[in-house]
Structure 1
Amino acid sequence: MYFILLSIAQFFYFTSAIPSDCLNGIEEAISKFVFAGEVGPPSQTVCQTKEAISKFVFAEPPYQSLCQNNLSLFSMWAAAKVYCTEKEISAGEEWARGSCTGVGFDLRVSYAALLPNLTDEAIAALPVVDFADTLDITHVWNTSVLISEALYDTGKRTVVVLNDSVNKIHKKYGWGVYGFWGGILLIGIINRLVNFLLSMRNSKVSDQQRAIEAQSARRSHSTVFSKTYRWFQANLILPPAIGTHHQRHVFGFTIPTRIVTLIIIAYYIWSIIICSVSYDVFYPNFYYNDYSQGWHYVAGRTGTLSYANLPVMWIFAGRNNIFLWATGWDFSTFNTFHRHIGIVATVQAIVHAVACTVEELADLEYWDDWKEQYWYMGAVESLITMSLILVFSSPFLRQRSYELFLVLHIALALVTLIGLFFHTKIFNGEFEPYLYPIVAIWCFDRLLRLL
């Protein structure tokens, strides 16, 4: 089972660059250099005369430098000519224009406009810079530069890995949550449909025909099927996980059937795998140091997966659930799934909070983060309310005061949901597709209970 799930996990992982990433990576490398802030015609960046250099009197902010500084632009387009294809340059220029417009600047000079000056001789005359040159942030460069191939690779890899981890890989593993539980529900639906069709068929067969078919079946190869089916029923589907009686209580917990237990164990294994694989941690990296980088990716993965688990958890929580009818399973089975998905989501949220804390402590920004709404709302929802839900969902409280448990469960779930909206508000709706289905499921369930 482990190796099957691992193979599926590796199938989801890929690092894919898009055409604009070539120039994006170059810009990321160029942004680490402080260029003198001369504002003049682009041709002066090529001449590099003493008169021109004498006009470089201030260093511009990074965004303005990338969009309008002649030295920076010449460095960018020179590297683009050396390392990018025409298709990548075209896509990158379109991306750069959009980026500059987004921060209130225009891209001052296009690749085509500067191309006549980008001769082999001019590029060869540029000083070649490497990652070590980016470490001196006080140095102001009075000339354009050519980033080395190693520095270009670092810039591009930084951009590609970040974009993949944020926009692709984390979310793909989130779909792995839905794939797992969707597959379980589909099996249950198919099983009920097959049983329904067989019962319909049997109801139309006379007793005499049934006796003849039964005798024929005993002589035929269908005996293998019947033996296999009976074995699964007797050893996997019907028996309890522990002991000989269903709904048996051990330390206050109800023991489910063996097949339900196996599904839960498989989901714990699957959750560990999709939280643990497909991290591309490397140094040098322009965004993160070698210590905080891994923590950042773990925080992103576990946070996304915790969100992804929530709609499924809510689906299994409701009594007015179409899947109860479609699968024919009882509510206790759904409630068992609900509890264990909640445990997984809460543990992932706690790991997310711990990883974020370690990362921010490493960057010396931890105490300043508490001034930010997303931070303290995240701490409330992950470390307090979700954890309290687990504590107050203990069998001890449920069995002694179910009404109190229910009130606390609903109240804390509501606070958690509100906190989650505020926690990821800074991402401009990127995580709301995980949350609005919860609102819809909850409202639908409450409405049906009132009718």
Structure 2
Amino acid sequence: MLSTSWLLLLVYLGLACAGRPPTDEGCVTAVYTALGYLSFSGDPTQGAWEARCQNRLKVTSTYASADVYCTEEEQVAGFAQLQRYCLEYGKVELMPREQVAENLTHDALSRMPVIEYGQIPKSQRIPTAVLISPTFYRRTFDTIDTWQFEVWSHNVFGLLGYAFWALVLAVGIFHRLVRHIFHALDIRAGQWARSRVRWLWIPLDGTYHWLQTHLVVPAPLPSSRRKLLWWTFPTRIEAVTVLLFWVLSVVVCTLEYRPVEGNL
């Protein structure tokens, strides 16, 4: 059971460390996602990937809008990803740029209609290649980027909760280990053995005594000061630990949600 728990924790750690998808792919992803909200002449009645990868008007619009909004590096990464998706999900090749190159010149781009989000209903088929507007592109990009951030942050910030309690356990284990070592030295060689390593402990002795007195050792008499809201804490160190976890939870929950203007 313990090994299974550790395995699940390692898998969770891997998902968190994998992080968000590469940002270079996000630009082209936003472009073809936005164009997915439009219908073009020649689109099949079923199969979004066939239209996305093989419909000449939609592919031309994808290349054209990517030329406007994406850098060269973003286009290389994004269209490589789109090609993989076409093969994986649509079982078709992405139409090469060379087949529509005559419609991607500067003059051709300047004559393309610019479409706003919600301007044309999806039921209406567009008979020509188009460009998505800057606000349409930004709305789509922010929607995708925010969603990817939410998925990533749920993994990472959730892992922080486990890491916090793992740190608490590690501190407790280390404390008990140090006390065990000193106790073993006392038993084996008495005061002489302690004097050999005591110079390592002297700088921390005052701090350790203060922590034990004021935080770790519970008070001998009951007190209403041990109560916080609806909970009673036997020692101050437990209250501090719980409060720190609450602060961590509030902070990561605040960072986890990013408000954006408009979404798809």
Q: TM-score range by the shorter chain?
A: 0.7 to 0.9
Distance (Å, rounded) in 1 between the aligned partners of 2:256 and 2:155? 12
Distance (Å, rounded) in 2 between the aligned partners of 1:79 and 1:212? 74
Counterpart position of 2:182: 198
Match runs of 1:301-320 below 5 Å: none
Counterpart position of 2:117: 131
Match runs of 1:68-83 below 5 Å: 68-83=54-69
Match runs of 1:174-253 below 5 Å: 174-207=158-191, 225-239=204-218, 243=222
Distance (Å, rounded) in 2 between the aligned partners of 1:131 and 1:89? 22
Distance (Å, rounded) in 2 between the aligned partners of 1:281 and 1:177? 24
Counterpart position of 2:131: 146
Measured at CA, do residues 208 and 60 of structure 1 come closer, stay the same or move farther in structure 2, by a change above 3 Å?
closer
Length-normalised TM-score, structure 1: 0.47
Quote how far apart the aligned CAs of 1:184 are: 0.5
Length-normalised TM-score, structure 2: 0.76
5+ long unaligned stretches in structure 1: 1-11, 39-57, 215-219, 287-451
Match runs of 1:2-21 below 5 Å: 18-21=23-26
Counterpart position of 2:105: 119
Distance (Å, rounded) in 1 between the aligned partners of 2:232 and 2:114? 68
User: Is the CA contact 1:37–1:60 (under 8 Å) kept in the aligned structure 2?
Assistant: no
User: Is the CA contact 1:35–1:141 (under 8 Å) kept in the aligned structure 2?
Assistant: yes
Counterpart position of 1:278: 256
Distance (Å, rounded) in 2 between the aligned partners of 1:150 and 1:92? 20
Q: CA offsets, 1:368-415, max 9 Å, x none? A: xxxxxxxxxxxxxxxxxxxxxxxxxxxxxxxxxxxxxxxxxxxxxxxx
Quote how far apart the aligned CAs of 1:255 are: 5.0
Distance (Å, rounded) in 1 between the aligned partners of 2:114 and 2:192? 92
Distance (Å, rounded) in 1 between the aligned partners of 2:34 and 2:25? 15
SS of the residue corresponding to residue 24 of structure 2 reads: coil
Measured at CA, do residues 198 and 212 of structure 1 come closer, stay the same or move farther in structure 2, by a change above 3 Å?
closer
Q: Which has the higher contact order (CA 8 A, sep 6+)?
A: 2
1:95 to 74, 81, 103: 81
SS of the residue corresponding to residue 251 of structure 2 reads: helix
SS of the residue corresponding to residue 133 of structure 1 reads: coil
Identity value in percent: 26
Distance (Å, rounded) in 2 between the aligned partners of 1:230 and 1:25? 59
Distance (Å, rounded) in 1 between the aligned partners of 2:165 and 2:65? 48
Counterpart position of 1:32: 37
CA RMSD of aligned residues (A): 3.4
SS of the residue corresponding to residue 188 of structure 1 reads: helix
Distance (Å, rounded) in 2 between the aligned partners of 1:172 and 1:242? 42
Measured at CA, do residues 260 and 271 of structure 1 come closer, stay the same or move farther in structure 2, by a change above 3 Å?
same
User: Is the CA contact 2:182–2:194 (under 8 Å) kept in the aligned structure 1?
Assistant: no
Counterpart position of 2:156: 172
Counterpart position of 2:95: 109
Quote how far apart the aligned CAs of 1:83 are: 1.9
Q: How many residues align?
A: 241
Counterpart position of 2:241: 263
Measured at CA, do residues 62 and 237 of structure 1 come closer, stay the same or move farther in structure 2, by a change above 3 Å?
same
Measured at CA, do residues 227 and 128 of structure 1 come closer, stay the same or move farther in structure 2, by a change above 3 Å?
same
1:163 aligns to 2:165 (yes or no):
no
User: Is the CA contact 1:93–1:110 (under 8 Å) kept in the aligned structure 2?
Assistant: no
Letter in 2 for 1:118: L
User: Is the CA contact 1:241–1:258 (under 8 Å) kept in the aligned structure 2?
Assistant: no
Quote how far apart the aligned CAs of 1:34 are: 1.6
Measured at CA, do residues 111 and 161 of structure 1 come closer, stay the same or move farther in structure 2, by a change above 3 Å?
farther
Measured at CA, do residues 84 and 208 of structure 1 come closer, stay the same or move farther in structure 2, by a change above 3 Å?
closer
5+ long unaligned stretches in structure 2: 1-16
Match runs of 1:339-378 below 5 Å: none
Distance (Å, rounded) in 2 between the aligned partners of 1:146 and 1:99? 22
Quote how far apart the aligned CAs of 1:120 are: 0.6
Measured at CA, do residues 98 and 108 of structure 1 come closer, stay the same or move farther in structure 2, by a change above 3 Å?
closer
User: Is the CA contact 1:59–1:140 (under 8 Å) kept in the aligned structure 2?
Assistant: no
Letter in 2 for 1:77: Y
